[in-house]
Structure 1
Amino acid sequence: MTQPLRVVAVSGGLQRTSRAAALCQHLMDLIGEQLPCDRHLVELGQVAPQLAGATWRSQLPASVEQELAAVEQADVLVVATPVYRGSYTGLFKHFFDFIDQDALTDTPILLAATGGSERHSLVIDHQLRPLFSFFQARTLPLGVYATDSDFLDCRLHNEALLERSRLAVQRALPLLELARRVEPHASSAVAAA
């Protein structure tokens, strides 16, 4: 029997009502409409106090270690970050600095970002794709970028963005289906043997 897909989303937003978290949740919900999955959202704003002062993974408390392990064991990742000075937030990068460099090999990753205007929309291709290329992850072909005006009460309401989100998930389905059939991180286990 095929296990539910483990979908983990990481929101780089620092606020509790974060647009990045809302975008992550929306994308996870769309995946959940297509495939049976277990969903988990990591909100970096919630772990920031324990994360920000650490230099080594061994310095992190168990609660942050659990979030890192969830990311490393995910079948699929959804990541979204607010754009800060033309890139992802420093806390977002700091979190991924603790991820084992081989843990995300071949993991499908749906990239997303939020920003104040359309002028930052290339952050997905110019910042996020290279970051996850380092991990040898499979960044999915279509990213989702949302501006402040695409949200109403921290919920997506722009029909063009809703359609792009649906299309991003539809185009990702072949890889997500494959991730369900293959033992998670089988390539990592083979490499370690």
Structure 2
Amino acid sequence: MNFHVERLRQNIVVLSGNTHRPSKSRTLAHHLGEALRERLSVTVNFLDLVDAGRGLGAAFTRRELTPEALNVVNAVEQADALIVTTPVYNGSYAGLFKHLFDLIDPLALVDRPVLIGATGGGQRHALVVEHQLRPLFGFYSALTVPSA
């Protein structure tokens, strides 16, 4: 993990796209967050998609989000850097994971460092990182770490 220290501030959000605990994606996210915390003096906030609750899927707009779901959206937008992992289902991230990012302000993640990762059942699932996660964060003009 080579985040540029001068770019890295204090508030790191580690978001795992899992909908249950325990989870392999949560384990990966936690390991990456702890590794960063061991190297730098940062605050790390660990969140899972499940923390947004069922209100995330019921909301068509941000105004319809439950307080739990809005807290997750706000935490992602306010982070100085992100570590994001997701489980892979049928060759992609979950629709609810994408829905969360559909509710993120398109300008909120500009120039934000993001480390991405995924967990899946086989080597083909590794393509999700390059073919889906990297373009997703590219849309937001975030700075994804070159290796995942």
TM-score by length of 2: 0.91
Q: Please state if 1:137 is matched with 2:135.
A: no
- Counterpart of 2:50? 45
The unaligned stretches of length 5 or more in structure 1 are 144-193
- For 2:25, the equivalent position in structure 1 comes to 20
3-state SS of 1:79 partner: strand
Gaps of 5+ in 2: 1-5
Question: Which amino acid in structure 1 is aligned with residue 10 of structure 2?
Answer: L
Change (3 A) 1:104 1:4: closer
Matched, 1:109 2:114: yes
Which residue of 80, 91, 94 maps to 1:89?
94
Return the alpha-carbon distance in structure 2 between the equivalents of residues 48 and 125 of structure 1.
28
Identity among equivalent pairs (%)? 44
For residues 130 and 47 of structure 2, the distance between their equivalents in structure 1, rounded to whole angstroms, comes to 22
TM-score, structure 1 normalization: 0.70
Determine which structure has the larger helix proportion and give its number. 1
Given that 1:51 and 1:95 are in contact with CA atoms closer than 8 Å, whether structure 2 keeps it comes out as yes
What SS is found at the alignment partner of 1:122?
helix
Q: Counterparts of 1:47 and 1:63 in 2: how far apart (Å)?
A: 5
Matches within 5 A, 1:32-181: 32-143=37-148
The Cα RMSD (Å) is 1.5
Residue 31 of structure 1 pairs with residue 44 of structure 2: no
